[in-house]
Amino acid sequence: MTVRLIILNGGSSSGKTAIVRALQEVLDEPWLGFSVDDFVDALPAKLEGSPDGIVIGSDGEVSVGPAFRALEAGWTAGIVAMCRAGGRVIMDDVFLGGPSSQQRWWNAIGDLETLWVGVHCDPAIAAQRELARGDRPPGMAEGQALIVHQGIRYDLEVDTSHTDSIDCARTIAAYLKA
């Protein structure tokens, strides 16, 4: 069986998006890149700041409601359907719910060959990146850096604290070829 889906899990500002772009460069076949941010950006405006949708606190804490979860289930099923139809997808996600976040993917994936990659980053370094980005509430990156990995099972883990995204991508690509 061939891997059709790569799921990168890490906190905000951990370097996942840069790894997705680097993977698209180093992998032999073309891969589509999607992120949880793409999903959040696609939500109706009325769900932003709504307990039914998504609320991002001033400290970066994220809470989601039932409408978010229902749409997320459709999004996840759509990503998996693309893979089953022959596409290759690299998904950049943030497992704020720990094992239940991973379980939602497993429920949708079934027998689809998937590579699970943990993207780690030192909380202080993630906080510096967050500050440089300027598009996240202060504290989000540091608050997510460790918690998103608790209870998650990975096939491979990389750390962007002192390793460039291209080198992380090469590590992932080598794993896929092995």
10 assigned to a ligand binding site: yes
Identity of the amino acid at 142:
E
Q: Which one is catalytic: 28, 37, 92, 122?
A: 37
Q: Which helix (H) or strand (E) holds 5?
A: strand 5-9
Catalytic residue status for 167 = no
Residue 16 marked as a ligand binder: yes
Q: What residue has token string 């951990």?
A: 14
Find out whether 57 is annotated in a ligand binding site. no
Measuring CA to CA, which residue among 33, 39, 37 is closest to residue 5?
A: 33
- Do 89 and 31 form a contact (C-beta atoms < 8 A)? yes
* Phi/psi of residue 36, nearest 5 degrees: -60, -30
Distance CA(5)–CA(90), nearest Å, equals 6
Is 110 annotated in a binding site? The answer is no
Residue 91 and residue 6 in contact, taking contact as beta carbons nearer than 8 Å = yes
Distance between CA atoms of residues 160 and 19, nearest Å? 9
14 is in an annotated binding site: yes
Question: What are phi and psi for residue 108, nearest 5 degrees?
Answer: -80, -35
Question: Is 33 within any annotated ligand binding site?
Answer: no
Residues flagged as binding site: 10-17
| Active site (catalytic) residues | 37
Residues flagged as binding site for ATP: 10-17
